[in-house]
């Protein structure tokens, strides 16, 4: 299993695959249907090609953070689905300028040497999004590879999409996001030293900046957390926001892990958002805030007791 950061200069062993092609941010049920189509066409052996950075990041660099997965998590999840290879197609000025036919000839045929390509029904490619799934199918016939177009996949009567996951997270609905993802959404990153106010309040927190990960609704969540390499999840409560009571600053995920006293500064922390408890508030003083924090922790324990390990 391998990850390649280009479509040029590939070893022969990486070429000729049945390839699932798309953005695959979040790897939701619709994405997995595209992957399953590539698996079927490849008789169990397949690869996945995605874009890095995503075209949206290239064309709209000032947009708010929108990634559901960091690239490393996306690739790990793809490989866990059974892919032999992940191709991170570099989306830059050169690729943005390619016509649909040039993309197929240069990237898919000359670069990846595809034997088959599967895409979602709404896949667009080429300069100005000129190409579509039917056009890819036509070009495939002309250039010697098969194409499977996967029709719309519905989840609770709505289209399964990365957009729907983002909307749910920004609305403070992690359960809805999880139903589309097929698992709890994970916010992750290195644990950074903070102001250490929580320790003086009796709530020491592990602090993570989400950076280019999508920012969920500000507020308090029941969570489960673990450091990279751990298999077991620990219950906890987290606040994502700007802490208006103790002083505004950039949004930060502050996680208090129950019954946990390890020093994890610098370690990679994964935090599952399980349930939204309340919006972020500005309190009259620290005492009022601490009282509410105790209530939040109690509520989180109750919610986590009833929450499934996996939403499916």
Confidence of residue 252 (pLDDT cuts 50, 70, 90): very high
Inside any domain, residue 297: yes
DSSP per-residue string spanning 214-240: ----SEEEEEEEEETT--S-EEEEEEE
Domain that holds residue 30: 2-158
Residues 63 and 184 in one domain: no
pLDDT tens digits, 29-55: 899 999 999 999 999 999 999 999 999
Chain centre distance of CA 14: 25
Q: Which of 252, 262, 276 is nearest to 230 (CA)?
A: 262
Inside any domain, residue 167: no
Confidence of residue 285 (pLDDT cuts 50, 70, 90): confident
Inside any domain, residue 222: yes
Q: Which residues contact 117 (CB under 8 A, 6 or more apart)?
A: 18, 19, 20, 21, 38, 108, 136, 140, 145, 146, 147, 148
pLDDT of residue 238: 97
pLDDT of residue 157: 63
Whether 156 has a pLDDT exceeding 90, the answer reads no
CATH number, domain containing residue 32: 3.40.50.620
Residues 37 and 154 in one domain: yes
Confidence of residue 164 (pLDDT cuts 50, 70, 90): very high
Inside any domain, residue 6: yes
């Amino acid at each position: 299993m391998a990850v390649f950061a280009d479509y040029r200069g590939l070893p022969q062993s990486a070429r000729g695959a049945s390839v699932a092609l798309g953005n695959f941010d979040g790897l939701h049920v619709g994405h997995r249907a595209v992957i399953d189509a590539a698996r079927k066409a490849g008789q169990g052996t397949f690869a996945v090609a995605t874009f890095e950075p995503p075209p949206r990041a290239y064309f709209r660099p000032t947009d708010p953070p929108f990634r559901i997965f960091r690239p490393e998590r996306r690739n790990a999840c793809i490989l866990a689905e059974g892919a032999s290879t992940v191709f991170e197609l570099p989306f830059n000025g050169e690729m943005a300028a390619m016509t649909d036919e040039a993309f197929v000839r240069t990237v898919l045929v000359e670069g990846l040497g595809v034997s088959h390509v599967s895409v979602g029904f709404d896949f667009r490619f080429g300069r100005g999004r000129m190409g579509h799934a039917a056009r890819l199918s036509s070009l495939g016939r002309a250039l010697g590879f098969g194409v499977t177009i996967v029709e719309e996949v519905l989840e609770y009567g709505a289209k399964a999409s990365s957009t729907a996951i983002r909307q749910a997270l920004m609305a403070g609905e992690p359960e809805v996001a999880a139903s589309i993802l097929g698992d709890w959404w994970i916010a992750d990153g290195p644990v950074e030293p903070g102001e250490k106010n929580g320790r003086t309040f009796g709530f020491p927190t592990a602090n993570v900046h989400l950076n280019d990960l999508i920012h969920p609704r500000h507020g308090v969540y029941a969570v489960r957390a673990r450091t990279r390499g751990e298999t077991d999840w620990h219950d906890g409560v987290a606040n994502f926001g700007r802490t208006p009571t103790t002083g505004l600053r950039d949004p930060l995920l502050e996680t208090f892990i129950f019954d946990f006293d390890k020093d994890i500064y610098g370690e990679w922390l994964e935090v599952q958002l399980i349930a939204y408890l309340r919006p972020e508030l500005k309190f009259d003083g620290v005492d009022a805030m601490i009282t509410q924090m105790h209530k939040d922790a109690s509520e989180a324990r109750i919610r986590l007791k009833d929450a499934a390990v996996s939403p499916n």
